[in-house]
Structure formats: structure tokens, C-alpha cells
A and B are shown apart, each in its own frame.
Chain A
Amino acid sequence: MNEILLSNEVIVYLLSETVLYFLLFIAFLATIGLLKRWNFDAFTTEQFALENRSYLVMTIIFFVMMLKVVLLPYFVYTIDNLSDLIPGAMCGAGVVKANEYGNPLLALKIIILFLSALWLSMNSIDLKEKNYPYLKLKSWFFVLIFFLLSTEYLLDILYFTHIETTNPVSCCSVIFGQTGGANGLPFGLDIPKLLILFYLLFALVVLTTVSELAVMSIIASLLFGVIAYYAVVYFFGTYIYELPTHLCPFCMLQDHYFYVGYLLWGLLLLGLFLSIDAAIMQSFFKQPAKSLKRISLLLLSLFVLLCSAYVAVYYLKNGVLL
């Protein structure tokens, strides 16, 4: 008997994913029909039925998307909980690494969330027009997303059925730590350079977003995402844990650290999503996205402030830096 599949969280998670996938499958079938027979200029009953059906697709995607936003942190919570069952794992990092499906699954989840957010923005501008100008485009886009979702569902099942409870996995300090003096940072960066990059890129994101340079803003956001990830794992994280050797993106999701990880990663991901979303809306669909921009800047600034606050508070309390 597989203990993993009996864990309450895994059951709830897999049930939710199954129900959502079932709905998406219905939406997918409806979309195929739409793509085949859509003709806005026709005045047939079929066209009206198709227009109605497009509302079904829209509703389902909207519904699924909202729940996926909830399910991503829940997934992280689930694997964090599983760390008690798997020998050697202290937090989610080890559990994700328990088999080769974990990391692709997590990455895919984030990509899918981002793409579906884009779909929703596209959908909302499509509905504003009278003749559904982007219907074909958004349907094809959904077909693409659906294939990613199928992969995700498959990976979900493969991942949870292939976690061994007998083989020990690595703890986060082994995966991320600088054991043997190896530098985990890419591009030969060191901590001061990483921090300079972090703040400079943040400034760049703010500037490009404010000055409406769409392409630059997308590039800057993506770069900022990567650098922010490394900065949190290798620098800011150590202040959250108050331990210079503790490098881990997952441990901060636990209750010892007041679940601050959910807030931190949530702010970063949402901020990045919205800023890229706003840039794409502006450059490709010529839609002003003022409020999106404002929110994204707010979220990203909060993220940077939160990170810096940990360092500042540590310094104020102890009078030294780590």
C-alpha cells in the first residue's frame, strides 16, 4: 500500500485536479467545435449555438483558472506535509526531488497559471468588441494550454504514484547548500553582485513599466524573476531563517517562519504575471492596462520591501549582518 496516496492532502489535491481536468476536457471538446465551424458573419442557428457555447468555454476556463490559483499553494502545502513521511526530507525541496517528475511539474504549474492569466485578459478584451475578433486566436491558445494541462495532469499522477517512502531523499541544505565550496549561483555571480543586480533590475522593471516600453518591460520582468529567485534563496532567505547556511526556497513555507514563504513567492509571481500581462496587452492588443500596471508595481514593491525588511530588522535587532 502506498502511504503517499493515503495522505489526506494528496487525495484532496488529486480529486480537485481530476474534477477540474474533466471540466477542461468538456471545454476542450467545445473549443474544437468552435474552431471548426465558427463563422461570425453567418446568421444560422448553429452560429448562435456556438456563440453560447463559447460562454461555456469561457466560464469553465475562468472557474478552473481561479481554482488553480488556489491549488498551486495547496500543492506546495501538500508536498511540504509529505516531508514528514519521506525519510531525509525536511521540507518540500526534498519531496519535489523525490523523483524526476517533481521539478517539471512545479515549473509547468507556474507556466500554466501565467498562460491562463493571459488567456483571461485576452478574453476580456475579446468580449468588449462586438464581433469577437480574437475568438479564433484565443481558441487556438486554449488548445495549446489544454495540452499543457494534460501534461500537468499526467505529471501529477505520475509524481504522486512514484514517490518512494523507503528511499531517503536529500534535504534542502544538500540541494541548495554550498557543500564542498561549490557556488550555487549562476553566471559566476557572488552575493554583492547578485544584490546589485536584484535592486537594479527592480528599478528597471519599474522604469520600463512606467515609461510603457512593452518589450523591455517583459524582458526586465523575466530577468528580475530569475534574479529574485536566486536572491531570495541565497541571500534574503538566510535572514528569514536567521542562519547563514540555511539556503532553501521551501522551508520558509513552514510554520516556524509564519508561512511567510506563501506571501513572498505569491507577491513575486503575481507581480511578475501582472506586469508581463500588462505589457503584452499594451503592445500586441493596444489596450491600455493602467490598473494592471499599478497593481503589479505595488506587488513587486511589496515583495522587495518585505525581503529588505527581513535584513533591516535583523540588523536592527542584532547590530550585525549575517
Chain B
Amino acid sequence: MNNNAFLHFLTLLLFKQKGKHIGAVLISVIIIFLLSSVLFISSSLQSMLLGTLESQSDFTVSRVQAGKAINTPSAWMDKVLEINGISQVAPRIYGRYFFAPREESFLLVGVDLFDEQSSKELRSLVKGLDLKSFLSTDSMLVGEGVKTFLSEHYYKEYFSFKTPQGSFKKVKIHQALPSGTNLIANDMIIMPIELAREIFGLGEDEVTDITFNVPNDAEWDNIIGKLHLLFYDVRVVEKREIVKAYENLYNYKGGLFLILYLVAMVTFMLILYQRYSMVYSTERKEIGILRAVGWSIKDILKLKFYETAVVVLVSFVLGVILAYLYVFIWDAPLLSQIFLGGANLPNHVSFVPVLEFGLLGSIFLFYAIPFLAAVLIPAWKIAVTPPKEAML
């Protein structure tokens, strides 16, 4: 059979019988749109988080007692410094400050601005900061979420923290953190370490934890061993573990969604099976004519297969494009809240477009295989009808 004539016939047929396929295309587009939006959000968040974590410090150590982290003596810093292969050791005060009236909390980070910071982001922040004016009064840097929250509560320039001693500490809002860091820095406040110590009521030579980097990855396990030999009551948190935990979290969210979506897919298959059985049974006469003019069963099957393939491809492309627009251009209203969680300060994140070939492949397989499989048997049934019978 002349292939061009076949394809020509196929296109003619598709345009002639648009109505038959529109239903299937519509359901498919909705299904793919939902599926790919969720997966796009999940993978975009994952890659943003990993990108942010990449610039975080490699290790965080703190003292533990009865399994809980307690204040770490600053003297530990000097001991940590003595281990070979460690760089950028910096003390930190890190904790949550609860804004009592509304039960919201800020993540308070106190850093020594004169030390070399182990986190790349802090480093670049400190570099861009006018230290003279920042340190001349008690001031802080706040995340976007904090800034909006505070200005809603009429703290436009200053905020008064309540210390454990009952006194108030008035701190100037110096500037907001860049909005690119919103995913983790939305509720963050950065301030000089002495100030944070005062607000949390820590002792003069105490910090909450110590961060440092180990440039040589191969030495990481070694360093952990050395730390455990140095101190007996230490908890070491590695960046690797955090990365894995986040990866698991997003796998979990996306995976759970996919598993629930399986139900939808099975229903979709049943609907398709029904629908195509019906659609094809109206085509009996047409198939009969084709068979009568000399088409073989194989040719009919080929025709039906191509027809379905076109429907699958068209709806896949449409669904993915819609999802792309929804997530990356319009920042996924509604759906993004499932992933970001709005328990604390409201967060707004604009998603960085991440399109992996593997992800698109997964979506395609998840949708196309059930679709094609559901249509296979109805297509065969109609293809083998004898021409004579079809004419009756």
C-alpha cells in the first residue's frame, strides 16, 4: 500500500470525524494536565531545594543531652578547628522565635558577621551588606514572609523581641532577604550573634550549634569519626542526610499522589474501553467497505493504531503545555499550597522551570500505555468483522 496515500486517508479521516475523538482528547488532557502539574511542581521544588542546599554548610554539630539538642559551648569551636581538613568554622545561634499573639514563628539565625561563613549564601549576603550601618544599631535582615507579616502588624521599621528575662529588645529591620531564597528563607531573620544570644537568653559563651565545611568529600566519614572521638555528647548533621531526607519527602508527596492517581487511571481505562467499543461499533459499515475494497485485517489495525496514536500524542502535548503554563508561568495557584504548606507564614514561591526528559517520559508512559492498551481490544474486534456482516 502506498504509504502517502495511507497517511493522507488517515488525516482526512481524523478531520472528518473530529467529534468522535474530542471526548477522549478532553478527558486525556485533563488527566495529563493534573498529573504533570503535580509532578512539575514536585520536581521543580526538589531541584530548587537541592540548589539551595548545595550552598549550605556541610556539617552542623551541636551538643545533645537526653537525646535533645542543648546549648553548645563556644569552646568546642577551637577544638573543631584543630581537626585537619576543616574550613570555615562558624558558630551559630539558630532557633524559633514565637510571635505570641498569632502563634506564628520566625526562624532566628544569629551569625558572627566577622567570621568567614560556611554557608555560601550567607557569605554572599554578608559581602553585599554595609556592615558599618548594619552594626551601628541593633538591626536584622528578614525574609519576605516575615517582612510582610511584620508590616501587617504595623512594625514598619522596628520590631520588639521579648527576651526570657521579660525585657523588650528593639531591633531595626535593615532590609529584606532576596526573594530567590524564599523557599527556605521565607520566615527567616538574620542578625548578629550577640543580639540573638540576648533575645534567646543564652549564656555568654554558648551557641546553639557550630557549622563548618569539609571541602574534600572523601574525608566526610573520617571527620564524623573524629568528631565523635573529640566529644562524647555530640550530634553531627551532614548535608548529605538532609539532601536525602528532602528527596524522600518529595518522592513521598509525588509518589503518594501517583498511587492515588492509579485509581483514576484504571477508571480512565474502563471509560476508554467503553467509549471506543461504542465509537467503533458505529464504524462497522465503514470498516466493512474498506475490507471489501481489499484492505486486510492488518491494514485496518494499522489505521486504528495510527488514529489512536495521534489522539494520544495530541492530548499529551496539549496537557503538558497547559501544565507548563499553569505551573511555571502562573505559579500554580491552589496546587502549590499542597506542596508548600501554609501552616506558618504564607509563602509565595515562583517555580523555576525544570523539564527533565525522564519526567516527561514517565508521564507519557503512565498515560499512553493504559490508553493504548484499553483501545487495543475494541480496535481488534472491529477490524476482524467480516465485510459481509458489516453491511447488514
A residues lining the B interface (CB < 8 Å): 1, 3, 5-9, 11-13, 15-16, 19-20, 22-23, 26, 48, 52, 55-56, 59-60, 63, 67, 70-71, 74, 77, 81, 84-85, 127
Contacts and interface: CB of A to CB of B under 8 A. Distances in A.
A215 to B, nearest CB: 32
B259 A12 contact: no
B376 interface: yes
B359 to A, nearest CB: 8
A6 B252 contact: yes
B255 A6 contact: yes
Interface in B74-102: none
B251 A85 contact: yes
Given A8-B255, A56-B380, A77 B370 contact: no
A52 B301 CA distance: 12
B258 A56 contact: no
Given A12-B365, A77-B361, A6 B256 contact: yes
Interface residues of B, number: 33
Interface string B369-381: 1101100110110
Given A11-B258, A16-B369, A85-B247, A77 B358 contact: yes
A1 to B, nearest CB: 8
Contacts, number: 85
14 contacts: A1-B252, A5-B255, A7-B255, A11-B258, A12-B258, A15-B366, A26-B377, A48-B386, A52-B297, A52-B384, A55-B301, A71-B365, A85-B248, A127-B298
A247 B156 CA distance: 61
A16 B259 contact: no
A52 B382 CA distance: 11
B248 A3 contact: yes
Interface of B: 39, 244, 247-248, 251-252, 254-256, 258-259, 262, 265, 297-298, 301, 358-359, 361-362, 365-366, 369-370, 372-373, 376-377, 379-380, 383-384, 386
Interface of B is mostly: helix
Q: Top 6 closest A-B pairs, CB basis?
A: A6-B255, A52-B384, A12-B366, A12-B362, A11-B258, A16-B369
A3 B365 contact: no
A234 to B, nearest CB: 24
Contact of B265 (A8, A15, A67, A84): A15
Contacts of A74: 361-362, 365
A12 B380 CA distance: 26
B269 to A, nearest CB: 8
B383 A55 contact: yes
Nearest to A14: B262
Contacts of A84: 244, 247
Contacts of B369: 15-16, 19-20, 67
Contacts of B259: 6, 11
A6 B256 CA distance: 7
A59 B372 CA distance: 12
Could you say which of B256, B366, B386 has the most chain A C-beta atoms within 10 Å of its C-beta? Answer: B366
B305 to A, nearest CB: 8
Given A6-B256, A85-B244, A70 B365 contact: yes
B380 A20 contact: no
A25 to B, nearest CB: 12
B120 to A, nearest CB: 22
Contacts of A20: 369, 373
Given A6-B256, A55-B380, 16 more contacts: A3-B251, A8-B251, A9-B362, A11-B262, A12-B366, A19-B373, A20-B369, A20-B373, A52-B297, A55-B383, A63-B373, A63-B376, A77-B358, A84-B247, A85-B247, A85-B248
A84 B370 CA distance: 29
B362 A59 contact: no
A286 B297 CA distance: 26
Given A11-B258, A12-B362, A15-B369, A6 B380 contact: no
A55 B297 contact: yes
A1 B247 CA distance: 15
Contacts of B386: 48
A84 B246 CA distance: 11
A81 B369 CA distance: 21
